[in-house]
């Protein structure tokens, strides 16, 4: 337990430092939106591109990872949509439902990469990068489709689809796949330059998570918020464990797969909620509480996983 806790602790210490920086008056509030944009357009794409283009996929069971990712991550959207009649009966509005849907189906790649790298090094980064290749596009498409279906106002679906394919993270992933498929090797100094950006992105990304937390929302949860937290941080990891066991993952592979399924939701869904008629404050509340709760749930999940694995 101590080893797992100490492996994850640095990640959450940086997140906590981000909270402190966000509330430090020396840094103006206007700085943080620009910082987030820098991460979105430069740091994270650099990390994704470098992780994929330099990865040795021959050492990983890529096919099994892909199929397992589709099964595990695909189960939650189906589950939440099936629960819509129950939510509707209990006076959950459409905007609230879309925020529940988003916060239970999206995932925070920055945190997954940081924890995977801390525990397993480059192998961890590569494993999570494979999962990203599989789920980034489907998750975005599904969430936009649900937002459109549950919004009574009219939006240009084409404009949001266009944004997906101009999303720098998706572009970086697609470019890296092309480089891998064609066997294109980066010129040494260029590869090293991207590597510097990739290394900086993990710590900077965790600072962004901390800076985006709302202490008030964390300390004032409601039943909807708690439900979304439990589904994202407990139900999905449980599904991931059994899916991983079905595909006969090794303990390392199963741990990495479960880590990817145990992290909180992504922050970018908040913007989508704002622009497409969702409940943005509810999204922020759930996202904030998920980050804090994951500090306890991830070690718990990994410890339980290790004990269950040895008993099977």
**pLDDT tens by residue, 26-81:** 888 888 888 878 887 888 788 888 877 887 777 788 899 999 999 999 999 999 99
| Intra-chain end-to-end CA distance of the chain, in Å | 20
Q: Does residue 244 contact residue 68 with C-beta atoms inside 8 Å? A: yes
Task: Provide the greatest CA pair distance for the chain.
Answer: 60
pLDDT of residue 234: 96
Torsion, Cα 55 60 64 68, to 10 degrees, reads -60
Distance CA 105, CA 74 (A): 8
pLDDT of residue 158: 72
Banded pLDDT at 238 (limits 50, 70, 90):
very high
pLDDT tops 90 at residue 125: no
Lowest mean pLDDT among 77-81, 150-154, 273-277, 296-300: 150-154
Distance CA 185, CA 221 (A): 49
Which has more pLDDT, 6 or 113?
A: 113
Per-residue exposure over 43-71, b if at least 16 CB sit within 10 Å of its own CB, e if not: bbbbbbbbbbbbbeeeebbbebbeebbeb
Closest to 227 (Cα-Cα) out of 131, 174, 293: 293
For the chain, the structural domain boundaries read 2-311
Q: Three-class SS string for 140-155? A: HHHHHHHHHHCCCCCC
Q: Cα separations (Å) of 97 from 85, 100, 139, 279?
A: 11, 5, 16, 8
pLDDT tops 80 at residue 1: no
What DSSP string runs through 210-263?
HHT--HHHHHS--HHHHHHHHIIIIIHHHHHHHHHHHTT--HHHHHHHHHHTTS
Q: Rounded mean pLDDT of 134-147?
A: 84
Distance CA 302, CA 312 (A): 15
pLDDT of residue 163: 65
Q: Cα separations (Å) of 297 from 81, 113, 135, 222, 263?
A: 25, 17, 23, 19, 9
Question: For the whole model, what pTM was predicted?
Answer: 0.83
pLDDT tops 90 at residue 275: no
pLDDT tops 70 at residue 144: yes
Give the residue carrying structure tokens 């492996």.
7
Percentage of residues in the chain having pLDDT higher than 70: 95
pLDDT of residue 244: 95
Please tell me the total number of residues recorded for the chain in this structure. Answer: 312
Distance CA 145, CA 161 (A): 10
Q: Cα separations (Å) of 56 from 47, 59, 124?
A: 16, 6, 12
Task: Please write the tens of the pLDDT for every residue from 167-213.
Answer: 787 788 788 888 888 888 888 898 888 888 888 887 887 787 788 77
Task: State whether residue 284 is helix, strand or coil.
Answer: helix
Closest to 259 (Cα-Cα) out of 129, 111, 60, 139: 111
pLDDT of residue 3: 63
pLDDT of residue 164: 65
Percentage of residues in the chain having pLDDT higher than 90: 32
For the domain spanning 2-311, the CATH number is: 1.20.1530.20
pLDDT tops 70 at residue 159: no
Q: Cα separations (Å) of 235 from 19, 160, 162, 186?
A: 27, 30, 32, 41
pLDDT tops 60 at residue 284: yes
pLDDT of residue 184: 85
CA angle 68, 69, 72 (to 5 degrees): 80
Give the residue carrying structure tokens 């459109």.
148
**Of the spans 27-36, 107-116, 219-228, 239-248, which averages the highest pLDDT?**
239-248
């Amino acid at each position: 337990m101590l080893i797992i806790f100490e492996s994850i602790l640095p990640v959450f210490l940086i997140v906590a430092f981000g909270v402190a920086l966000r509330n430090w008056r020396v840094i103006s509030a206007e700085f943080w939106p620009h910082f987030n944009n820098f991460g979105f357009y430069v740091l994270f794409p650099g990390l994704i591109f470098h992780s994929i283009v330099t990865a040795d996929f021959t050492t990983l069971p890529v096919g099994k990872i892909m199929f397992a990712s589709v099964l595990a991550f695909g189960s939650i959207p189906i589950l939440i949509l099936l629960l819509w009649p129950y939510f509707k009966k209990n006076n959950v509005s459409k905007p609230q439902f879309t925020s529940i849907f988003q916060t239970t189906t999206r995932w925070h790649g920055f945190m997954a990469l940081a924890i995977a790298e801390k525990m397993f090094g480059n192998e961890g980064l590569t494993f999570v990068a494979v999962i990203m290749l599989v789920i980034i596009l489907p998750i975005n498409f599904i969430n936009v489709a649900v937002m459109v279906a549950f919004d009574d106002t009219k939006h240009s679906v084409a404009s949001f689809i266009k944004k997906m394919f101009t999303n720098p993270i998706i572009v970086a992933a697609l470019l890296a796949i092309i480089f891998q498929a064609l066997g294109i090797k980066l010129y040494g100094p260029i590869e090293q330059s991207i590597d510097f950006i990739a290394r900086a992105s993990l710590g900077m990304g965790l600072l962004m998570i901390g800076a985006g937390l709302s202490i008030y929302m964390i300390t004032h949860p409601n039943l909807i918020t708690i439900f979304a937290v439990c589904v994202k941080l407990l139900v999905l990891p449980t599904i991931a464990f059994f899916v991983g066991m079905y595909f006969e993952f090794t303990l390392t592979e199963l741990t990495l797969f479960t880590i990817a399924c145990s992290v909180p939701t992504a922050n970018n869904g908040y913007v989508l909620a704002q622009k497409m008629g969702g409940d943005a404050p509810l999204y922020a509340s759930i996202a904030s509480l998920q980050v804090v709760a994951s500090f306890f749930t991830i070690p718990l999940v990994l410890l339980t996983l290790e004990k269950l694995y040895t008993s099977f």
